[in-house]
């Protein structure tokens, strides 16, 4: 049974100087940490990248691009895949197994003896340009993607499917017009359709290049309004209701938003004014998206979030963007990825210090709900609560009960608004009590807004698990 909570106001937290915490001393050398994964099975924060060593306070560990943090110290992760420094792209779990993806290919961890094994026929001589497997949050089917190549003796393609035991052709990929420069990156399913991002000859137009299309069972089609100059960098799905996309797109180059945008399957929704890299707007992009504690987090190369300062990381709370306080000392404005482990947020990027302490490329957020600045809210005007006597609580059957501080005979219009400002439920009743059936809505953050004819207003922020 889903649990529901209502928060009627935010309690200010005392100011403090320490918001970020280092993990040991991070990595050594000019190499970098590029990916994070919070693994609940091994109970470790796992990292990957091009680094050779990780530094604890009292010792240094040889890791070669793959390492694990147990909450107190760094160690290597299993038997090494490579003998010299290379690049590990990301990790994920699929059907209970831990997978790693890197420039060396795809591997699965045998957890009995902690050694990495190649996948079935992965390294046959004509594997071509396959460089992506699944994604950082895989769905029911994994896809091996990249530049066109042969795999397991099948005809050349930019996409092959993988079920945990074997690779096999994915029929929709055969409909792509052949071209030596075709590239497929991300594939995922959302609301009954399969979406694909990359740079490829458009199977709908035939001669034009495309970067974002979908397959809904009867052939490829353009995503309405989804014009992206370049491919996407990440996506995250909230329930089965909203799809968030991040990348280098901007509205002035035809994109549906600025670096980050929401899509409900039909309509695009901008999240405020989006994100921007003010030193050189054309170089800004979102590298990673994460849903955590009801908020959407974005990180990448940007310095502002809807007009407020946000140094490479910001969160969207449903109505506004907020920057996170503290100081990460960046050599280059880049934060590559985020992960949650033991209910804490971790980040990696091109920084060397975290709130005055050495933290080469990796840090833990310890600032709680603190924010440094927030943009003007959208969706609900003048969000405020002057009287906290409004009560909201679940009844255990998918309903939200509402009790307002008024007498019988007072007319109310009450609406529930999602994270992109849409009214998903609207009700009107007389008197202090009413309820909404929310059982069909996806998990996430909502705002309940009650207004009477006199203009008196009450607002509650709601979380649905």
The 3-state DSSP class for residue 131 equals strand
Residue-wise pLDDT for 254-292, tens only, equals 899 999 999 999 999 999 999 999 999 889 999 999 999
* Total structural domains within the chain: 2
Enter the tokens of residue 133: 């497997």
- Per-residue pLDDT averaged across 304-321, rounded? 94
- Per-residue pLDDT averaged across 4-9, rounded? 38
- Per-residue pLDDT averaged across 36-45, rounded? 96
User: Which of 374, 400, 429 represents a domain boundary (last residue)?
Assistant: 374
Q: Say whether both 370 and 395 belong to one domain.
A: no
Are the C-beta atoms of 119 and 100 separated by less than 8 Å? Answer: no
- Per-residue pLDDT averaged across 408-419, rounded? 79
Q: Say whether both 368 and 399 belong to one domain.
A: no
Q: Say whether both 357 and 412 belong to one domain.
A: no
Closest C-alpha to 461, from 369, 397, 373, 396: 369
Q: Say whether both 406 and 278 belong to one domain.
A: no
Residue-wise pLDDT for 193-213, tens only, equals 999 999 999 999 877 888 999
Mean pLDDT of the chain: 86
Q: Is residue 349 part of a domain?
A: yes
pLDDT at residue 33 in the model: 95
Residue-wise pLDDT for 247-260, tens only, equals 999 998 889 999 99
Distance CA 55, CA 150 (A): 41
Q: Is residue 348 part of a domain?
A: yes
Residue-wise pLDDT for 373-406, tens only, equals 999 887 544 333 334 567 787 776 777 888 887 7
Query: Which CATH number do you get for residue 430?
Result: 2.60.40.3080
User: Which of 374, 402, 421 represents a domain boundary (last residue)?
Assistant: 374
Which residue segment(s) compose the domain that 416 sits in? Answer: 391-464
Q: Say whether both 268 and 357 belong to one domain.
A: yes
Q: Say whether both 355 and 410 belong to one domain.
A: no
Model confidence band, residue 150 (pLDDT cutoffs 50, 70, 90)? confident
Query: Which CATH number do you get for residue 53?
Result: 2.130.10
Q: Is residue 280 part of a domain?
A: yes
User: Which of 309, 339, 374 represents a domain boundary (last residue)?
Assistant: 374
Q: Is residue 442 part of a domain?
A: yes
Q: Is residue 179 part of a domain?
A: no
Q: pTM for the whole thing? A: 0.83
Distance CA 299, CA 64 (A): 25
Residue-wise pLDDT for 209-223, tens only, equals 889 999 998 899 999
Q: Is residue 4 part of a domain?
A: no
* Secondary-structure breakdown of the chain: helix, strand, coil percentages, each rounded to the nearest 5: 0, 50, 45
pLDDT at residue 85 in the model: 63
Q: Say whether both 421 and 313 belong to one domain.
A: no
Q: Say whether both 331 and 431 belong to one domain.
A: no
pLDDT at residue 128 in the model: 57
Q: Is residue 161 part of a domain?
A: no
Q: Say whether both 396 and 459 belong to one domain.
A: yes
The 3-state DSSP class for residue 451 equals strand
- Per-residue pLDDT averaged across 303-308, rounded? 96
Q: Is residue 458 part of a domain?
A: yes
């Amino acid at each position: 049974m889903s649990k529901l909570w209502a928060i009627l106001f935010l309690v200010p937290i005392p100011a403090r100087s320490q918001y970020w915490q280092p993990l040991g001393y991070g990595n050594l050398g000019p190499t970098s940490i590029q990916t994070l994964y919070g693994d609940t099975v091994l109970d470790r924060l796992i990292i990957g990248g091009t680094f050779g060593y990780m530094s604890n306070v009292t010792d240094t560990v040889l890791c070669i691009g793959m390492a694990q943090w147990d909450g107190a110290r760094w160690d290597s992760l299993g038997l090494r895949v490579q003998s010299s420094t290379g690049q590990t792209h990301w990790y994920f779990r699929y059907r209970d197994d831990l997978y790693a993806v890197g420039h060396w290919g795809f591997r699965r961890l045998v957890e009995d003896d902690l050694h990495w094994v190649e996948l079935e026929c992965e390294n046959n001589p004509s594997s071509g340009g396959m460089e992506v497997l699944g994604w950082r949050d895989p769905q029911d089917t994994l896809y091996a993607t990249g530049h066109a190549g042969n795999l397991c003796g099948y005809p050349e393609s930019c996409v092959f499917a993988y079920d945990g035991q074997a690779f096999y052709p994915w029929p929709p990929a055969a409909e792509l017009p052949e071209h030596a420069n075709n590239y497929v990156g991300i594939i995922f399913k959302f609301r009954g359709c399969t979406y694909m991002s990359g740079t490829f000859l458009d199977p709908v137009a035939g001669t034009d290049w495309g970067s974002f299309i979908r397959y809904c069972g009867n052939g490829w089609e353009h995503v309405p309004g989804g014009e992206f100059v370049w491919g996407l960098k990440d996506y995250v799905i909230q329930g089965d209701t909203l799809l968030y996309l991040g990348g280098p797109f901007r509205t002035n180059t035809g994109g549906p938003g600025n670096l980050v945008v929401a899509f409900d399957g039909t309509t695009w929704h901008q999240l405020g004014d989006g994100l921007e890299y003010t030193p050189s707007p054309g170089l800004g992009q979102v590298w990673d998206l994460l849903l955590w504690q009801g908020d959407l987090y974005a990180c990448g190369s940007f310095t502002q979030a809807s007009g407020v300062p946000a140094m490479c990381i910001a969160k969207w709370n449903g109505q506004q963007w907020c920057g996170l306080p503290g100081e990460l000392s960046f050599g280059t404005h880049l934060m590559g990825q985020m992960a949650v482990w033991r209910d804490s947020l971790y980040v990696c990027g091109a920084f060397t210090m975290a709130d005055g302490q050495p933290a080469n490329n990796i840090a833990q957020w310890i600032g709680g709900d603190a924010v440094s600045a927030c943009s003007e809210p959208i969706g609900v005007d003048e969000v405020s609560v002057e009287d906290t006597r409004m009560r909201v609580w679940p009844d255990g059957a998918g309903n939200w009960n509402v009790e307002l501080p008024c007498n019988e005979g007072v007319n109310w219009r009450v609406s529930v608004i999602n994270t992109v400002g849409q009214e998903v439920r609207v009700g009107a009743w007389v008197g202090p009590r009413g309820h909404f059936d929310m059982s069909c809505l996806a998990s996430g953050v909502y705002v309940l807004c009650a207004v009477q004819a006199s203009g008196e207003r009450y607002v509650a922020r709601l979380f649905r698990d």
